A and B are shown apart, each in its own frame.
Chain A
Amino acid sequence: MLFGLLPSSRLPGIGTGAERARVKPRAQAINTRARLYIVLMLLALGSTALIVRAIDLQIVRKDFYQEQGDARFLRDMAVPVSRGSILDRNGEPLAVSTPVDSIWADPQKLLEHADRLDELATALGIDADLLKQRLNQRVDKEFVYLKRHLNPDDAEAITKLGIPGVSSQREFRRYYPSGEVMAHVLGYTNIDDRGQEGLELAFDGLLAGAPGSERVIRDNLGRVVEHVELTRKPEPGVDLTLSIDRRIQYLAYRELKAAIIDRHASSGSMVILDARNGEVLALVNNPSFNPNAKEKTDPHFRRNRALTDVVEPGSTMKAFTIAAALESGKWKPDSKVDTNPGTYQISNLTIHDVHNHGLLTLTGVITKSSNIGAAKVAETLPKDNLYDMYHRFGFGESTGSGFPGESPGFLPIVKAWGPVEKATISYGYGLNVTPLQLAQGYATLANDGRLRAPTFVKGALNPDNAVIDPQIAHTIMGMLQTVVMPGGTAFPGAVVPNYFVAGKTGTARIAHAGSYQNRYISLFVGIVPASDPRLVGVVIINDPGGGQGGAYYGGTVAAPIFSKVMDGALRLLDVPPDNVQHWYAGGPEVATPRIAPAPAGDEDSTAEEAVP
């Protein structure tokens, strides 16, 4: 039908006249119009097919192709934000993030240029075979870190080599200028700069911020050629101002560390609270670790003993027993307790005092730290009242400081109390507290009997509520002052020149495998100045003498640390001295003998055989 099907020789006008004569006349004249229609139809069909295809591509399957196209050059790139700094209460930096660069590679692309691997390995300072092995293992991935956290200048030197598939990525690394002094409070972050421990973990959401995201167009070499839009605004981390005072923290750490070395103790903690608002001014533990190189340290050095470890509070508990006694109305500060003859039997438990203190007043029970006195006082009180008193002071419950991993301690439920338990708990055995809980309890006494949960954030004032009558709190403060006066268990160890100190010593035997060993914990809790409480300090020295003997009483081991730290802290905080008269009378004189060993006879009692 078509022209092409006709042999060319038969085309009209081409052949000769003779040939033309031989051509058979067509049966029908050629219908040019029909041919035209056919051609047009075919063309229309073709173009319709094209249009249909175009619609299919442009409209029906547009999303799919758009996506495929975008996937080849549009990229969502994270906009890294730096982690907020942690500052002390005076704005000194304690933890700062600085930018570092991490080198990464696309293994497929890099392996196409295997000839440059040696050069890369040299630049990275790693073994070439190891590098090859790592790349081959991850050949189906598109991303592999080659080296992380490089100095930006070093990283630039590597990317400048121009090896295909090798790029750098901005990251942040955390530095802690105060090192081991702050290590436990601050905690640390992992390699991705997320908080793992301590306040870094507690406030991770706030400090980390939220990385932004932007859409960019990249060429086939992965270079950004155009920024399209910001899909998520980056929110940098917020700076966190702590209640910690770096100078007091350092002072506490220095004295604690020196004492632990000096006394051959295994560990120790110190907590200092601001008595007025519950802010933690210092919280130190020793042994400690360097958070800038934490990989090398023994994991148990990382334990925040002041918050996660519990101790039996020993005699420091007596202040709360006396509070219950005063509240009951059965006892007055000058009520008499007979502690003769220095031992006392309750069913199968024999309670000992270090010396026979004879007839004591209620104040004297605190001054001399008589176990028998405390037990006899407790005997006269209903166990519910005692439990209630300890519980009101926050024992057996987490303080609510928000610190990760904080232990709630352990106060046995009242049902489990028999006469023996009641006696032992009254002088601080058979229950567990954290050093921070102890500080909180004494801060309550200092704060007119109003309990306020401690906080690590400056200005975050927790609400306080009254747990005992202010009058009782004042009476106990007065009794606690006698502890740091001649005849008291903490004299002259805890004396802070120019200031009145209220405090309580404690010595507890360390419970081990169901019995008590000849290893001790020395405690001292103090409040200074006693006339207008400003600072509350808890010192705990674990196992002084290392089980090899030597002094272990709270008044001899722990109290001098309190004295030295508070002496410096009060000066740093510009706290005015208590009164000039006392300063003339007691200050300069007692400054010298406080280094000398405490005279025998003023020692703190230790419970020799508390029930396991």
Chain B
Amino acid sequence: MRSLGIAVLLLLLAAVVASAVGVVYARQESRSMFVELTRLIGERDDLNFEYGRLELEQATVAEANRIEQIARTRFGMISPQPATTVVIKR
């Protein structure tokens, strides 16, 4: 009877120690994962910003006025006149 009581006590003690270690481990794990999460969020944001910047750059480069200037001056392109337009049926 007494030995059973001691065994239960020891078991409970071991469980307490184990859960204490578990808490420490979980806490540590959560910290390191949080750091990782923060890093990844930062990385995602940076990539989004980079995408935005590139999109902006593309829009600036593809600006209609600029394209028209290049087409007209550098490549000597012109808008087709109606007389030179052929309407085809599909």
Contacts and interface: CB of A to CB of B under 8 A. Distances in A.
Interface of A: 82, 85, 92-94, 96-99, 175, 177-179, 181, 226-227, 246-247, 250-251, 254, 497-498, 568, 576-577, 580, 583, 587-588, 591
Nearest to A99: B49
A271 B31 CA distance: 58
Contact of A254 (B45, B53, B62, B65): B65
A577 B52 contact: no
A246 B58 CA distance: 14
Interface string B45-79: 10011001101100110111100100000000001
Contact of B56 (A175, A577, A583): A175
B53 to A, nearest CB: 6
B23 to A, nearest CB: 17
B55 A93 contact: yes
B82 A93 contact: no
A583 B87 contact: yes
A408 to B, nearest CB: 33
A498 B80 CA distance: 13
B56 A591 contact: no
Interface of B: 31, 34, 38, 45, 48-49, 52-53, 55-56, 59-60, 62-65, 68, 79, 81-83, 85, 87
Most buried by A among B45, B49, B56, B82: B82
B38 A227 contact: yes
Contacts of A251: 64
A177 B53 contact: no
21 contacts: A82-B48, A93-B55, A94-B59, A96-B52, A96-B59, A97-B52, A98-B53, A98-B56, A99-B49, A177-B56, A178-B59, A179-B63, A181-B64, A227-B34, A250-B64, A251-B64, A498-B82, A576-B87, A577-B87, A580-B87, A591-B82
A246 B53 CA distance: 19
A456 B56 CA distance: 22
A554 B1 CA distance: 112
A93 B65 contact: no
A497 B86 CA distance: 12
Main DSSP-derived SS at the B contact region: helix
Given A250-B64, A250-B65, A96 B82 contact: no
B56 to A, nearest CB: 5
A93 B61 CA distance: 12
A199 B78 CA distance: 35
Contact of B82 (A98, A497, A568): A497
Contacts of B83: 587-588, 591
Given A177-B60, A498-B82, A577-B87, 13 more contacts: A82-B52, A92-B59, A93-B59, A96-B52, A99-B45, A177-B56, A178-B63, A178-B64, A226-B31, A246-B64, A250-B64, A250-B65, A587-B82
Contacts of B52: 82, 85, 96-98
Contacts of A94: 59
Contacts of B63: 177-179
Nearest to B61: A177
Nearest to B35: A227
Contact of B81 (A98, A250, A591): A591
Given A178-B63, A250-B65, A583-B87, A568 B79 contact: yes
Nearest to A586: B82
Contact of A588 (B56, B64, B82): B82
A96 B56 contact: yes
A290 B44 CA distance: 32
A99 B51 CA distance: 11
A92 B65 CA distance: 15
A99 B59 CA distance: 17
A214 B79 CA distance: 56
A82 B44 CA distance: 13
A371 B79 CA distance: 39
